[in-house]
Amino acid sequence: MSVLIFIDHSEGIVKKNSLEALSYGSSLAWAMGVEAAGLLLGTVKDDLSSLGKYGVKKIYQVGETSLDQLDAQVYSAVIASAVEQTNAKVIVLSNNITGRATAPLVAARLKAGLVSGAVALPDLSNGFVVKKNVFSGKAFAHVSIKTDIKVIAISPNSYTINTTDGQAEVVSLNTTIPEKKVKVIATNKITGSVPLGEAELVVSGGRGLKGPENWGMVEELAGLIGAATACSRAVADAHWRPHHEHVGQTGLAITPNLYIAIGISGAIQHLAGVNRSKVIVVINKDPEAPFFKAADYGIVGDAFDVVPLFIEEVKKLKNA
């Protein structure tokens, strides 16, 4: 019996979300008194044995290049086969794009209970109870999984990455790979920015910036602190910024450690996508802006006065 952790990757590089999943899964395995193992589909440039420092003893790899790109139906079939071969009882994935597409299919194939958006290790004192976000992050639910096999998809940036000095044994796994029903004919990748889904720091702008010509200070601040840039829906709809930067209920839901909102009023739809941020800083000239109710820190002032001062202070700290 073991905990099997799915390792997601892109262009040969293991994703940061997978390191969180490995740390979470290995901690869970320790609490259960069983072994933790990773599962990687496809090929990567990274040294897989080095992933042992996140607590796993083995990395099972189905090293077919056809698995380098996500096909949720194929992935779920291969993961289910790996679970049967390794006698795993708990499957852990990140609740990123890959996990959200794959975890429900894996659970259905294995007739397993599923909790998506987990934010803490299960409580094993009275069964197997998993804490998760509900109602767009406004509350928590404690879900009891009673099936023999259990699937958990953890929210990105919800669990600390822990490391040791361990090395993992890499084991090839043979399994039947179903024929793909979806063919990828082109991939258009956005370059030069931190992926929003993995970003720990995010600087976001809204209509208070008045136009795309004023976005330079958002990008400058983000560049200084190594953050990703984001925007409100109104900004994306006005074509000031590309839609992949739109965060909120109808955009991307993110969970960074720090979210800086500049000139965003904080409508409930926007809050639904960002209220799981660990620290929220709001800069807005309207003292009645709803965002201040959700903020950890707030600055009432014109963004065109406040942000340049913010940038200068960051520069001083970096040069200190």
CATH number of residue 264's parent domain: 3.40.50.1220
pLDDT in the model for residue 192: 58
How many domains, in total, are found in the chain? Answer: 2
**Residue 186 falls within a domain, yes or no?**
no
Domain co-membership, 163 together with 220:
no
What CATH number is given to the structural domain containing 88?
Answer: 3.40.50.620
**Residues 6+ away with beta carbon under 8 Å from 62:** 39, 40, 41, 42, 78, 82, 172, 173, 174, 175, 177
Distance of CA 195 to the CA centre of its chain: 10
Domain hosting residue 221, numbered range: 196-319
**Residue 182 falls within a domain, yes or no?**
no
Residue 56: is it exposed, middle or buried by C-beta count within 10 angstroms (0-12/13-18/19+)?
Answer: buried
**Residue 191 falls within a domain, yes or no?**
no
Domain co-membership, 166 together with 211:
no
pLDDT in the model for residue 309: 96
Domain co-membership, 133 together with 272:
no
**Residue 96 falls within a domain, yes or no?**
yes
Domain co-membership, 167 together with 205:
no
Q: What is the mean pLDDT of the chain?
A: 93
pLDDT-flagged residues of the chain (< 70): 190-193, 320
This prediction's pTM: 0.84
pLDDT tens per residue across span 92-136: 999 999 999 999 999 999 999 999 999 999 999 999 999 998 887
- Measured CA distances, 81 to 64, 149, 212, 271, 315 (Å): 15, 13, 50, 39, 53
pLDDT in the model for residue 229: 95
pLDDT in the model for residue 276: 86
**Residue 184 falls within a domain, yes or no?**
no
pLDDT in the model for residue 136: 73
pLDDT in the model for residue 191: 64
Q: Which two tokens stand for residue 171?
A: 């084991």
**Residue 185 falls within a domain, yes or no?**
no
